């Protein structure tokens, strides 16, 4: 059975298709693994055992009847609890949505179902995806499988930890300022933020509409690319969805050819505040790419230094409006509705009781930034910075095909270490924020262990709709390191 | 409740009114502004809803292309410029009938801006044209509808509980905002009424809305302030809501002018507030106090992409616009050979479309006007409804007129047929049949009555024999009376003269 939980998605799909193993057996193996380790990891908020086995049976039936299968048919997956799945509790990590069972499927979920992917359950996250450590979940923190005292990153910490702890070979996360890439980096797996608009946001409980993007996690680059290709593509229900064909991410991941590619190293994403071990692994990765024939060019992106400030105005502004609908009127929590209080007071009490401190902090920040008289100085100014960051990217594309940097400045910190210092917490996303504000694709791939023997990731960023390029580079790094290590970085983790 | 008022003439002697009108039009699109839900009026509560118009977590809006097209057509008909690029914006405020607690609207980038609508008003010096300048027309979504149960006022305060129907949430609205309308003086109430009436005709002509004020598909808010003279700075304004008929537009403004003037004359400051018009009592009452600082924290809607209508599309829509109402009325006036004043009375009665429809059904213009402005206008007035709400169609009026033309009915009998049609007895011919209404055209039956009349009034008969044919009137009247009006008076007269050798 342990072979099944350690297998890649590609291997599992092949074994299911050739009937070496049934989808039900694969699903059961992962459900057993969850039962065994999740008490310690807390990656899942809800395990849908019956639903998963039912989906698995449907795949087995399709196999038996000789139907054509999608490349991921029967492969289990962990779904971040910010995407709606009909009838399955969806909390977005918040008390305010406790008990809500959505009446509809997110487009991502619909596509997963259509591809025969087996959804094991919903994963833990920072409340409404606001955070970098999953400590802001109303349902307790998720623990990093590499060291249970450490954070798994966030906000998609549950999804990353599930993949890293072999509870699922695949997971879906969402990335608003780094919430896929940063957890992937610190749990030693692969995570990609597709181009903004490449994956439908329909059914994604919004944090910041202009930044939110769902994306794949897996233990290998090819698995990640396969999941990317399943969930991406135009959706008429999302007005910001891009009407272009999905780039051939799977082909690029398989080719791993970076010879003659021009790779830019972002000068501003290094130096002070970057752990020596992180910087050392990054420098080694650069040399690996050079050795494979890539041209390495140093690039300056001066506006990247303002990304943190711009992000923490734009995202809270949008969230202050997006989260207004949580008002006790139509779904979720309702507090103190005793027949005495007015509707307004019930709204007030419910929001006071239902939202956690970080969510309240951002709603207050955003409400202030959008206020008349402050709008231009805050929200308006932040949008101008966003434009400047986009220009830095566009200027870079004149001389390079992709940009690279460490994914995070540090290795994962200890649970509780930064909870009282929001700005220190926000800095975990320093490297990932620029491409979120720009809207281009980016990926994180493991490149070794840092000073504290914990995972370090490499971030690859590419032009809008050049998602294939990030997979190509990540795959080249993965291949070269696999030769050194004789496998994946994750193989070096202590077994749970 | 009623506030002290001063005489309207005195208001005009001492103050200059400045008006502003905000009209909300519900578009008649088959689906809502940002989702595929149906928009049918009067459906069971909460049956025309989906995740998007309920504002469920994760749901997203998609712009209704037909609504954008309607907005552009309205803008073009109002002589507006059309934005080549504009965005939706979120207007943030909490209210239980607004699912997302923000309204998706437009803020500083309306799709239509800078237009005008000319309206004609009868003044002491004859018909005068007032130009009502349009500041903007923008797209937005409607809210749900709250029903407050219990308590005495029907308002949220004091209610036992409230119910919300989200069927209306997300229905496309166009908000048309005028610039401050100055210089109308004592005609301000009439100008406002004429503007809303002209707007209604224009929207109906475009076919973009059913523009029924009583059902709320056309809603008017009136901003009004008074100043001591046209040179004085603008006074504090009130915004009167719930003005749900053309007549109310005029009445509410007149009332508000008189109320504000009384306060100002007394040295009392006007409070900037929302007021509610009460059709039944004819007064406005205070709603919530509104400050200029009310902060809706508008920002561009990140869930939608900008609306960028191409110049070709706009020109295509322009070329397909129906004839503007003002030009149409000029043309019709010439075709029908009537005066400007007569035309104005057709328009003011809200009868133009009805008259045209009746003509289209085969009646001649004069007769069509006669029915709608005469008998039917009287009936509408008696019933206290708009002309168009009478239970008779243009086709039925044309059929009725055909019965008159064929000689089967005279005007008096036709009025009885109208009674029947309005009472739901069926089509005009059927009503005439069932009520036995028919001009007596059988000469022998008429001759019997004529001979009786001659016998009863030998003096009149002798005068006619002597050549005084004017005396025939008395005999014709007697015959008409004897036949209960069912005879053709012309034929009776011919037969009377013939019988008496003339
Ligand atoms: Zn809907």
Q: For B264-310, what is each residue's pLDDT tens digit? A: 999 999 999 999 999 899 999 998 776 555 799 999 999 999 999 99
Sequence spans of domains, chain A: 2-303+387-492
Share the mean pLDDT of chain A.
96
Nearest-Cα residue of chain B relative to residue A197: B303
Given a contact cutoff of 8 angstroms between Cβ atoms, the answer to whether A73 and A113 are in contact is no
Please report how many Cα atoms fall inside a 13 Å half-sphere around the Cα of residue B431, on the Cβ side. 23
- B326 part of contact set with chain A, CB < 8 Å: no
Instruction: Identify the band that residue B154 occupies on the pLDDT scale cut at 50, 70 and 90.
Output: low
Beta carbons within 8 Å of B192's beta carbon, 6+ residues apart? B19, B21, B181, B222, B249, B250, B253
Poorest-confidence range of A181-185, A432-436, A487-491, B331-335? Answer: B331-335
Residue A426 confidence (pLDDT): 87
CATH class label, B443-499: mainly alpha
Sequence spans of domains, chain B: 8-314, 349-434, 443-499
Distance from CA of B94 to the nearest CA of A (A): 8
Interatomic CA distance for residues B238 and B285, integer angstroms: 11
Take residue B293 and report the two structure tokens written for it: 């600082």
Helix (H) / strand (E) element for A38: namely: helix A23-41
Q: Do B56 and A330 touch (CB under 8 A)?
A: yes
Take residue B235 and report the two structure tokens written for it: 């006074």
User: Which residues of A are less than 8 Å from B100 in CB distance?
Assistant: 324-325
Give the 3-state secondary structure of residue B274.
strand
For the beta carbon of residue A491, count every other beta carbon within 10 angstroms: 12
Among B96, B302, B305, whose Cβ lies nearest the Cβ of A329? Answer: B96
Given a contact cutoff of 8 angstroms between Cβ atoms, the answer to whether B143 and B98 are in contact is yes
Share the mean pLDDT of chain B.
91
Residue B153 confidence (pLDDT): 62
Beta carbons within 8 Å of B328's beta carbon, 6+ residues apart? B205
Beta carbons within 8 Å of B230's beta carbon, 6+ residues apart? B16, B182, B183
What is the SS3 string spanning A415-437?
A: CCCCCCCHHHHHHHHCCCHHHHH
Distance B84 CA to ligand 1 centre (A): 28
Give the 3-state secondary structure of residue A294.
coil
Number of H helices, E strands in chain A: 17, 11
Give the pLDDT mean for A23-37. 98
Interface of B with A in 136-165 (CB under 8 A): 156, 162, 164
Residue B498 confidence (pLDDT): 85
Number of H helices, E strands in chain B: 17, 14
Q: Do A106 and B99 touch (CB under 8 A)?
A: no
User: Which residues of B are less than 8 Å from A325 in CB distance?
Assistant: 55, 57, 99-101
Instruction: Identify the band that residue A395 occupies on the pLDDT scale cut at 50, 70 and 90.
Output: very high
Task: Evaluate if residue B338 carries a pLDDT over 50.
Answer: yes
Distance from CA of B424 to the nearest CA of A (A): 44
Give the pLDDT mean for A251-280. 96
Task: Evaluate if residue A2 carries a pLDDT over 70.
Answer: no
Helix (H) / strand (E) element for A456: namely: strand A455-461
Q: Do B96 and A343 touch (CB under 8 A)?
A: yes
Torsion over CA of A276, A278, A282 and A283, rounded to 10 degrees?
10
Beta carbons within 8 Å of A300's beta carbon, 6+ residues apart? A266, A267, A268
Take residue A385 and report the two structure tokens written for it: 């910075």
Architecture (CATH level 2) of domain A2-303+387-492: Alpha-Beta Complex (3.90)
Cis peptide before A155 (omega within 30 of 0): yes
Take residue B103 and report the two structure tokens written for it: 């309204």
Instruction: Identify the band that residue A1 occupies on the pLDDT scale cut at 50, 70 and 90.
Output: very low
Among A90, A317, A324, whose Cβ lies nearest the Cβ of B101? Answer: A324
Among B61, B299, B304, whose Cβ lies nearest the Cβ of A317? Answer: B299
- B101 part of contact set with chain A, CB < 8 Å: yes
Given a contact cutoff of 8 angstroms between Cβ atoms, the answer to whether B138 and B174 are in contact is yes
Instruction: Identify the band that residue B256 occupies on the pLDDT scale cut at 50, 70 and 90.
Output: very high
Q: Do A240 and B96 touch (CB under 8 A)?
A: no
Residues B214-237 have pLDDT tens digits of: 888 999 999 999 999 999 999 999
Nearest-Cα residue of chain A relative to residue B90: A321
Task: Evaluate if residue B155 carries a pLDDT over 70.
Answer: no
Distance from CA of A463 to the nearest CA of B (A): 20
Mark the residues whose beta carbon lies below 5 A from ion ligand 1.
B 35, 37, 50, 52-53
Q: Rg of chain B's alpha carbons, rounded to an integer?
A: 29
Residues B433-453 have pLDDT tens digits of: 898 888 877 788 788 888 888
Task: Evaluate if residue B1 carries a pLDDT over 60.
Answer: no
Given a contact cutoff of 8 angstroms between Cβ atoms, the answer to whether A130 and A87 are in contact is no
Give the 3-state secondary structure of residue A371.
coil
Among A104, A201, A239, whose Cβ lies nearest the Cβ of B63? Answer: A239
Distance from CA of A460 to the nearest CA of B (A): 26
Residue A433 confidence (pLDDT): 98
């Amino acid at each position: 059975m342990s072979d099944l939980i350690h297998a890649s998605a590609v291997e599992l799909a092949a074994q299911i298709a050739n009937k070496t193993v049934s989808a039900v057996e694969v699903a059961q193996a992962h459900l057993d693994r969850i039962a065994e380790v999740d008490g310690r990891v807390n990656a899942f908020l809800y395990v849908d055992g019956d639903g998963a086995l039912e989906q698995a049976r449907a795949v087995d039936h399709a196999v038996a009847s000789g139907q054509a299968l999608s490349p991921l048919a029967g492969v289990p997956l962990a779904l971040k609890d910010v995407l709606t799945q009909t009838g399955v509790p969806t909390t977005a990590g918040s008390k305010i949505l406790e008990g809500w069972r959505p009446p509809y499927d997110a487009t991502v979920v619909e596509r997963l179902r259509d591809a025969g992917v087996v959804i094991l359950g919903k994963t833990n996250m920072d409340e409404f995806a606001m955070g970098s450590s999953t400590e802001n979940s109303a349902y307790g923190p998720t623990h990093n499988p590499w060291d249970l005292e450490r954070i798994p990153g966030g906000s998609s910490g549950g999804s990353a930890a599930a993949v890293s702890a072999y509870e699922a070979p695949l997971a879906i996360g969402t990335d608003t300022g780094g919430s896929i890439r940063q957890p992937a980096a610190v749990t030693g797996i692969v995570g990609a933020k597709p181009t903004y608009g490449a994956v439908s946001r329909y059914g994604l409980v919004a944090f910041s509409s202009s930044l939110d993007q769902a994306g794949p996690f897996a233990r290998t680059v090819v698995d990640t690319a396969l999941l990317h290709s399943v969930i991406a593509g135009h959706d008429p229900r999302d007005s910001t969805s891009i009407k272009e064909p999905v780039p051939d991410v799977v082909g690029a991941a398989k080719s791993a050819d970076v010879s003659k590619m021009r790779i830019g190293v972002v000068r501003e994403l290094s130096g002070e505040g970057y752990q020596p071990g992180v910087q050392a692994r990054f420098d080694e990765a650069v040399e690996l790419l050079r050795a494979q024939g890539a041209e390495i060019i140093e690039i300056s992106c001066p506006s990247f230094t303002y990304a943190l400030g711009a992000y923490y105005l734009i995202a809270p502004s949008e969230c202050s409006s997006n989260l207004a609908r949580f008002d006790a009127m139509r779904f979720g929590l309702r507090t103190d509705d005793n027949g005495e209080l007015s509707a307004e007071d019930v709204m007030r009490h419910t929001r006071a009781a239902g939202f956690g401190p970080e969510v309240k902090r951002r709603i207050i920040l955003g409400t202030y930034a959008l206020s008349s008289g402050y709008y231009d100085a805050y929200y308006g100014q932040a949008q101008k910075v966003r434009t400047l960051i986009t220009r830095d990217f566009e200027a870079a594309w004149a001389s390079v095909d992709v940009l690279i940097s460490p994914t995070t400045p540090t290795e994962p910190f200890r649970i509780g270490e930064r909870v009282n210092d929001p700005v220190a917490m926000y800095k975990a996303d320093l490297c990932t924020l620029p491409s979120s504000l720009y809207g281009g694709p980016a990926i994180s791939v493991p490149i070794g262990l840092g000073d504290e023997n914990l995972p370090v990731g490499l971030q690859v960023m590419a032009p809008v709709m050049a998602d294939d390029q990030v997979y190509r580079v990540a795959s080249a790094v993965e291949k070269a390191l696999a030769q050194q290590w004789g496998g994946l970085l994750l193989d070096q983790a202590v077994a749970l | 409740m009623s506030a002290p008022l001063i005489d309207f003439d005195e208001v005009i002697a001492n103050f200059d009114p400045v008006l502003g009108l905000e009209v909300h039009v519900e578009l008649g699109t088959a689906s809502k502004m940002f989702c595929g839900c149906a928009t049918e009026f009067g459906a069971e509560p909460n049956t025309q809803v989906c995740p998007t118009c309920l504002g469920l977590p994760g749901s997203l809006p998609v712009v209704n292309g037909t609504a954008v097209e309607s907005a552009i057509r309205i803008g073009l008909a109002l002589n507006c410029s059309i934005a080549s690029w504009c965005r939706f914006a979120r207007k943030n405020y909490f209210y239980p009938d607004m699912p997302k607690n923000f309204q998706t609207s437009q803020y500083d980038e309306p799709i239509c801006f800078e237009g005008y609508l000319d309206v004609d008003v009868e003044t002491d010096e004859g018909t005068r044209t007032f130009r009502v300048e349009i500041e903007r027309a923008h797209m937005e979504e409607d809210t749900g509808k709250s029903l407050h149960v219990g308590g005495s006022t029907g308002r949220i305060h004091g209610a036992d509980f409230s119910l919300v129907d989200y069927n209306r949430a997300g229905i496309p609205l166009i908000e048309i905002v005028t610039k401050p309308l100055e210089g109308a003086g004592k005609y301000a109430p009439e100008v406002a009424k004429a503007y809303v009436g002209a707007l209604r005709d224009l929207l109906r002509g475009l076919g973009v809305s059913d523009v029924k004020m009583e059902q709320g598909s056309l809603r008017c808010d009136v901003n009004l302030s008074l100043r001591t003279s046209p040179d004085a700075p603008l006074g504090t304004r009130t915004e009167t809501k719930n003005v749900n008929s053309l007549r109310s537009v005029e009445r509410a403004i007149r009332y508000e002018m008189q109320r504000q003037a009384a306060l100002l004359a007394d040295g009392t400051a006007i409070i900037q507030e929302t007021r509610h018009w009460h059709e039944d009592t004819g007064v406005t009452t205070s709603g919530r106090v509104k400050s200029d600082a009310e902060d809706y924290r508008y920002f561009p809607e990140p869930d939608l992409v900008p609306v960028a209508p191409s110049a070709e599309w706009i020109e295509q829509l322009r070329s397909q616009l129906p004839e503007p109402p003002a030009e149409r009325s000029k043309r019709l006036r010439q075709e029908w050979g009537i005066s400007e004043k007569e035309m104005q009375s057709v328009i003011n009665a809200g009868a133009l479309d009805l008259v045209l429809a009746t003509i289209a059904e085969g009646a001649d213009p004069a007769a069509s006007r006669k029915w709608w402005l005469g008998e039917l206008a009287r009936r509408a007035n008696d019933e206290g409804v708009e002309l168009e709400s009478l239970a008779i169609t243009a086709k039925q009026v044309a059929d009725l007129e055909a019965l008159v033309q064929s000689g089967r009915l005279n005007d008096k009998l036709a009025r009885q047929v109208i009674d029947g049609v309005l009472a739901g007895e069926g089509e005009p011919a059927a009503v005439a049949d069932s009520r036995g209404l028919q001009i007596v055209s059988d000469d022998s039956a008429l001759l019997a009555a004529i001979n009786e009349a001659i016998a009863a009034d030998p003096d009149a008969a002798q005068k006619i024999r002597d050549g005084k044919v004017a005396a025939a009137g008395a005999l014709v009247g007697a015959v008409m009376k004897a036949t209960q009006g069912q005879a053709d008076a012309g034929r009776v007269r011919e037969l009377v003269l013939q019988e008496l050798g003339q």
